[in-house]
Amino acid sequence: MPPAEAYGVASFYALINLQSPCRRTVHVCDDIACRTRGADAICNDLEEQFGAEGVRREDSATAWHRSPCLGLCERGTAVFCETAGSEPVTIADAASQNLVHLLLHPEIPVPRRAESTFPGEQLGTSLPLLSRAAMPPTPGIDAYRFAGGYLALRRALQIGPEGVLAELTASRLTGRGGAGFPTWMKWKAVAEAVGNPRYVVCNGDESEPGTFKDRILMELDPFAVIEAMTIAGFATSAEHGFIYIRAEYPEAAEAIELAIKQSRSHGMLGSDILNHDLNFDIEVRRGAGAYICGEETALLNSIEGKRGEPRTKPPFPVQHGLFGRPTVINSVETLLNVLPILMYGGDTFAESARGGVTGSRLFCLSGCVSMPGIYEAQPGATLRELIDRAGGTPDNTPIHSVLVGGAAGSFVRGDEMDIELTPEGARSAGISIGSGVIMVFDETIDMANIVKRIARFFRDESCGQCVPCRVGTVRVEELIERFFKPGADRDAEIALFNDLALAMKDASICGLGQTATIAIASTFSRLRMNSATIT
């Protein structure tokens, strides 16, 4: 690759350091969920006791940065820590750690963070998605097999690729990554494509603020991800799979790498899997700090070693995907659903149908709840039920608002708890479920602080390709900053915002620019933030 292009690629990613190398870099999540758990105080502390963000301190050769959501929201404030010469680690509950000390003494190793756990009520129950992950962790392929692993793949081999597609079609499974596209349509399109190679890609980039379910699945149930991808390969005649895992998930990547290695040595990846004419192998690709790489076509470009700029669709990945070849791309959670579909049948899976969706979903509860974490729920559960399962707000402080669907989702008011969390329930409430984020803000939270952070998030994560998003996100950030100043002409700012939002929604290339204004718009329309409510 020519050097200018290589520089262009490297400078696209937040975690590729182009300045003088640091012995240790600490990335502190100051995104919205962690802001409800003391992130601001931690950052202020670092500023006072260590130095300004992003400035390398010469005595220790270390630096710290504020970071967008690290996908550890249930155990925030989250930190991602890179140390020269060793693997990066994440730190949960950073408020209880001495980050200044870690920064001043890069020679001190950072201990591995404890495994993810589950909110207790789900342990030992037979949940379609979480049952294996919720068992006390016994790593390894034998434990996976013992827990029912490979039953789905064996069934797939019995019924053949057409049988798998028929089960998937009957199940009416839809994508869990945000768009809700029918999974069987993608698989069928690639299965019917001509020529080889073709690819199966698992989207493990999970960077939507407030989302952490795919991380937990990859960390605690890695063999299931591999089995599901193998089934996708079998159904679509693809022999190559890629799992794209964001850089901020070192523990998940390690679990997946280990599981791949073990699967290979046990003949569960490679050629003639289970003595059938099935060849499939998986490579891990790591992100490098870019939310946009979760967008499927940006992700494909990133795997190809390019800047993570989304492509214009059409053509779609099923026609023109990785390296221009037909490609199935699904999120981790979507893929995991394939296992119960094959084990118990697509029709059984579809029995749960309600509100335009089949099968259970994982919801990521964070913010002001007593037991944050992932909760599996059947279609039809309401917002209230999930928040109740998570223990409600600490001290039963009244709920001010809930962000549903992540930074690209919508805020709803504390009195809208009866919304049914299905596509139809969400649609009739004028919101979308997106990646399953349920982030609760009680009345102690400074919402202006939260809204400003959302505006900054999109500005910093825009890939910069198209004008409406590249410049629009900047104008939105400035507008929100002005909006909360005393004496602002708030009605004029809202009118300007609406103009911007319409153009960004209509003319941006990809979902980032198209959805960047939705959450903020909902604070005006639903939370009624305006001249009358802000002083």
Ligand X SMILES: Cc1cc2nc3c(=O)[nH]c(=O)nc-3n(C[C@H](O)[C@H](O)[C@H](O)COP(=O)(O)O)c2cc1C
* Interface contacts to ligand X, rule CB under 6 A: 175-179, 181, 203, 205-208, 292, 294-296, 329-331, 334, 510-512
Nearest approach, Cβ of residue 460 and ligand SF4 (Å): 11
What is the contact surface with ligand FES in residues (CB under 6 A)?
Answer: 29, 31-34, 69-73, 76, 78, 209-210
Mention every residue, 6+ apart, whose C-beta is less than 8 A from residue 310.
292, 295, 297, 298, 301, 463, 465, 509, 510, 512
The answer to whether residues 201 and 242 touch, using CB atoms and an 8 Å cutoff, is yes
Kindly report the CA angle at 100 between 94 and 106, in degrees rounded to 5? 105
The answer to whether residues 168 and 184 touch, using CB atoms and an 8 Å cutoff, is yes
Spatial distance between the Cα atoms of 431 and 527, rounded to a whole number of angstroms: 13
Spatial distance between the Cα atoms of 510 and 310, rounded to a whole number of angstroms: 7
Per CB under 8 A, the list member of 473, 515, 522, 523 interacting with another protein is 473
Question: Which of the residues 438 through 467 are near ligand SF4 (CB under 6 A)?
Answer: 462-466
**By CB under 8 A, is residue 474 in contact with another protein?**
yes
Nearest approach, Cβ of residue 53 and ligand FES (Å): 16
Collapsing DSSP to helix, strand or coil, 90 comes out as: strand
Neighbouring C-beta atoms of residue 316, cutoff 10 Å:
17
**By CB under 8 A, is residue 463 in contact with another protein?**
yes
**By CB under 6 A, is residue 407 in contact with ligand SF4?**
no
Spatial distance between the Cα atoms of 373 and 278, rounded to a whole number of angstroms: 37
Nearest approach, Cβ of residue 307 and another protein (Å): 7
| Chain centre to alpha carbon of residue 497 | 27
- Return the HEC string of 174-220: ECCCCCCCEHHHHHHHHHCCCCCCCEEEEEECCCCCCCCHHHHHHHH
Question: Which of the residues 35 through 74 are near another protein (CB under 8 A)?
Answer: 54, 65-66, 68
Question: Which of the residues 321 through 380 are near another protein (CB under 8 A)?
Answer: none
Interaction partner, residue 330 (ligand SF4, ligand FES, ligand X, none; CB < 5-8 Å by kind): ligand X
Spatial distance between the Cα atoms of 310 and 206, rounded to a whole number of angstroms: 16
Interaction partner, residue 54 (ligand SF4, another protein, ligand X, none; CB < 5-8 Å by kind): another protein
**By CB under 8 A, is residue 29 in contact with another protein?**
no
**By CB under 8 A, is residue 506 in contact with another protein?**
yes
Side-chain half-sphere CA neighbours of 486 within 13 A: 1
**By CB under 6 A, is residue 301 in contact with ligand SF4?**
no
**By CB under 6 A, is residue 334 in contact with ligand SF4?**
no
Q: What character string, x for contact with ligand SF4 (CB under 6 A) and - otherwise, covers 465-504?
A: xx--xx----------------------------------
**Segment contacting another protein by CB under 8 A, of 132-140, 381-389, 400-408, 495-503:** 495-503
Spatial distance between the Cα atoms of 67 and 45, rounded to a whole number of angstroms: 16
Interaction partner, residue 331 (ligand SF4, ligand X, another protein, none; CB < 5-8 Å by kind): ligand X
Q: What DSSP designation does 520 have?
A: H
**By CB under 8 A, is residue 496 in contact with another protein?**
yes
Spatial distance between the Cα atoms of 172 and 355, rounded to a whole number of angstroms: 12
Spatial distance between the Cα atoms of 173 and 328, rounded to a whole number of angstroms: 15
Question: Which residue number, 28 or 322, has a Cβ lying nearer to ligand FES?
Answer: 28
Question: Which residue number, 2 or 136, has a Cβ lying nearer to ligand SF4?
Answer: 2
Q: Which residue has the tokens 């002005």?
A: 482
Q: Which residue has the tokens 């379910």?
A: 213
Nearest approach, Cβ of residue 211 and another protein (Å): 18
Nearest approach, Cβ of residue 406 and another protein (Å): 17
By CB under 6 A, name the binding residues for ligand SF4: 292, 310, 462-466, 469-470, 508-510, 512-513
By CB under 8 A, name the binding residues for another protein: 2-8, 11-14, 16, 18-19, 54, 65-66, 68, 289-290, 307, 312, 314, 459-468, 470-475, 477-479, 481, 496, 499-500, 502-503, 505-509, 514
